[in-house]
Amino acid sequence: MTTRAGFVALIGEPNAGKSTLLNRMVGAKVSIVTHKVQTTRARIRGVAIEGDAQIVFVDTPGLFRPRRRLDRAMVAAAWGGAADADIVVLMVEAHRGITAGVEAILDALGERTEGRTVALAINKIDRVEAKVLLALTKDLNDRYPFVKTFLISAEKGHGVDDLRRWLAETLPEGPWLYPEDQIADLPMRMIAAEMTREKLTLRLHQELPYQLTVETESWEERKDGSVRIDQVIYVARDGHKGILLGKKGETIKAVSQAARAEIEEFLGRKAHLFLQVKVRPGWLDEAERYSEIGLDFRDGEA
């Protein structure tokens, strides 16, 4: 039996649907999904099995114009993920079309993905009419020689099976890279931190800037089969701490309950989650914080 295995990088603007597609492909929630942009920071890998092929997905941060050190490190991680992959899939939102951000990605694509197989996935196809879709498909293919174009809805699943089958057939021959039952190569501590950060993002909406990060400080396996998880939420200002805690601690309590429920579902066992909020004004400039979320601090240098 011939097996295939390799890395597939999903790239695109923030909110293009990369995390949603990854989670659908893998069949489990391994990447944070919210309605807000720039939520994926680390290069989360999800592993999918299709026939005799093992597809390892690299879910990269969205590509955008960076302003801060954290932004620059995220963009560097995204292009780094593309350069390291066997196949690159550019995701474009059907209803937004060729934005200035997509233009910039197309301009850099040739140089950044030299020698790689690059496919196009136009996402959220249910939001536009067929004639708009056809025109966008032609326009994008005129601008870059994609080897294949897929019309998909990551949220509803349309076209996703075709894309997964094609990826499986196109990956190089070779032994599988991960054990069959492993769906993500992130430590469970980091996945749990991502789940808590997702709940914070959903709960706080526009109230808090992106200047917060969550770290799992300790992970204790208990004799009864449950796990105790202690996490720290770092914020940049004192004022942010108050927003996070909420009136009589209601916000942090709701976040903790929602995150714990999701962690328990993912683990398939009971979890005890304890959250602490700490103010660290300079966390955006601390190398240690970057390595915790899977980014290279040096990539953020101007």
Residue 155 and residue 9 share a domain: yes
User: Which one-letter amino acid corresponds to residue 252?
Assistant: I
Beta pairing, strands 4-12 & 87-93: parallel
Residue 183 placed within a domain: no
Residues 6+ apart with CB under 8 A from 16: 62, 91, 92, 93, 123
Residue 179 placed within a domain: no
Planar angle of CA 38, 217, 201, nearest 5 degrees: 25
**Residues 155 and 17 sit within 8 Å (Cβ to Cβ):** yes
Domain of residue 36, residue span: 4-170
The domain that holds 272 is classified in CATH as 3.30.300.20
Residue 148 placed within a domain: yes
Residue 194 and residue 133 share a domain: no
Q: How many domains does the chain have?
A: 2
Residue 262 and residue 131 share a domain: no
Each residue's pLDDT tens digit in the chain (302 positions)? 789 998 888 888 878 888 889 888 887 655 544 444 444 444 556 788 899 998 888 766 555 555 556 556 655 665 565 567 889 899 999 999 999 888 888 887 877 677 889 999 999 999 999 999 999 999 999 999 999 999 999 999 999 999 999 999 999 999 988 777 666 556 678 888 888 988 888 888 655 545 688 888 888 888 998 999 999 998 888 888 888 888 898 999 999 999 999 888 888 889 999 999 988 876 667 676 666 555 565 655 65
Beta pairing, strands 149-151 & 212-221: unpaired
Domain boundary among the residues 170, 198, 222 is at: 170
Residue 98 and residue 165 share a domain: yes
